[in-house]
């Protein structure tokens, strides 16, 4: 009977431990824009960045063929509709969101940098804890890309 209680408590204790880690975890690198660029990805396969030169971290920036303001407003609208997204910082050319997963409440930091001269929005998405994210950050960016494209094609409606 005692072993059964311990076995039943193990998942709860594991979940509580993950919540404590999530609470105390800070971004693995400094976030924000330095010299016109987003932070580099850590040397782990749990992040992507459009300003990465090569390798597993490289992802294409979000391109737009509309005005920079319209694209930026559409991006804000798209990301604000994603469950678990919280705006942390918002300026005329930089957005930072925290995304929390539903079950385990893992925190990922997602940044966007508008580059109007190139009609591009650079993006960086990184997990705070763990070694691998099983492609979660890449999938999130691709979902944002698709939703942004649909939003811009519909005229922002």
Domain at 134, CATH number = 3.30.310.80
pLDDT given for residue 22 in this prediction: 44
List Cα–Cα distances, 87 to 1, 19, 96, 121, in angstroms: 47, 21, 6, 17
DSSP state of 96: E
Domain that holds residue 127: 2-153
pLDDT given for residue 98 in this prediction: 93
pLDDT given for residue 17 in this prediction: 59
Torsion-angle region of residue 55: left (phi > 0), alpha (psi -120 to 50) or beta? Answer: left
- Provide the whole-model pTM: 0.81
Q: What is the mean pLDDT of the chain?
A: 86
Sequence-separated (6 or more) residues with CB below 8 Å from residue 138: 48, 59, 125
- What is the number of domains present in the chain? 1
- Positions of the chain with pLDDT lower than 70, given as ranges: 1, 10, 12-29, 102-105, 156-157
């Amino acid at each position: 009977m005692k072993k059964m209680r311990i076995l039943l408590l193990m998942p709860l204790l594991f979940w509580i431990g993950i919540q404590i880690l999530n609470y105390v975890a800070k971004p693995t690198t400094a976030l924000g824009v330095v010299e016109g660029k987003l932070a580099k990805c850590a040397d782990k396969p749990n992040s992507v960045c459009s300003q990465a030169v090569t390798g597993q971290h490289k992802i294409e920036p979000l391109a737009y063929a509309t005005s920079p303001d319209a694209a930026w407003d559409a991006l804000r609208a798209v990301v604000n509709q994603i469950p678990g997204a919280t705006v942390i910082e918002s300026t005329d050319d930089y957005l930072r969101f925290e995304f929390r997963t539903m079950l385990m409440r893992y925190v990922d930091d997602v940044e966007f940098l508008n580059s109007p001269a190139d009609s591009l929005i650079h993006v960086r998405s990184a997990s705070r804890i763990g070694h691998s994210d099983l492609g979660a950050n890449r999938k999130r960016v691709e979902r944002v890309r698709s939703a942004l494209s649909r939003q811009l094609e519909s005229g922002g409606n």
